[in-house]
Amino acid sequence: MTTNTDFRKPSEELVPVPLVRGLVALVVTSLAITSFAVWSDRPLEATPPQSPVVEERILFLSGDLSGAARVMDETGTVIADLSPEEGGFVSGVWRVLERKRTNARVPLDGPIRLVGTENGRVAIHDPSTGWSADLMGFGADNAAAFATLLR
């Protein structure tokens, strides 16, 4: 009985050396560019354009895992009672808010601020956690789902 003490694999099974060098160069270049941007205090460029607020509404969201969602105004009047087919994105935002509020250890049933800006963008702000999102980043249809709640 003989044992094989050769731990090297045949060269055709190894990752080609030029590919490994290229990947290392890519990682080092990415880190260098990122480090330069941080250390030189470059302004953020991938942020939504700032525009004056023209519409604002305080809302309360509730939802469930099926995708159904309910939206109420400050007085408790139901603005929208969305079925799972209609409320998927609104319910998804509610789940994000629930998670953020749980992590921040604040009440889950607080209000949100929905704002429409002069340039046509819609954003949501949670005053209890400081979380906010420009809803255009989720697509025009999803932003439109919240834009209808402004009126």
SS3 at position 143: helix
Closest to 79 measured CA to CA, from 89, 66, 90, 88: 90
How high is the pLDDT of residue 1?
A: 58
- Residue 62, pLDDT > 80, answer yes
Rounded Cα–Cα distance for residues 14 and 16 (Å): 6
Residue 51: phi and psi, rounded to 5, are: -150, 150
- Model confidence at 6, pLDDT cuts 50, 70, 90, reads low
Mean pLDDT, residues 25-45 taken together: 90
User: Mean of the pLDDT values across residues 87-108?
Assistant: 87
Residue reference for tokens 């969201």: 61
* pLDDT (mean) for 126-134: 90
| Of the candidate ranges 52-56, 98-102, 124-128, 142-146, the one whose mean pLDDT is the lowest | 142-146
**CB distance 137 to 146 below 8 Å:** no
Q: Quick one: the chain helix, strand, coil %, rounded to 5?
A: 40, 20, 40
DSSP strand E in 2-151: where? 53-63, 69-72, 78-82, 112-117, 122-125, 132-134
**Is 0.85 topped by the overall pTM?**
no
What pLDDT does residue 2 have? Answer: 61
pLDDT at 107 over 80: yes
The mean-pLDDT minimum among 8-17, 32-41, 79-88, 92-101 falls in 8-17
Torsion angles phi and psi, residue 35, rounded to 5:
-60, -45
Measured CA to CA in angstroms, residue 139 lies from 86, 120, 136 at distances of 16, 13, 5
91, 63 Cβ separation under 8 angstroms: yes
By the 10 Å C-beta count (0-12 exposed, 13-18 middle, 19+ buried), 84 is classed as: middle
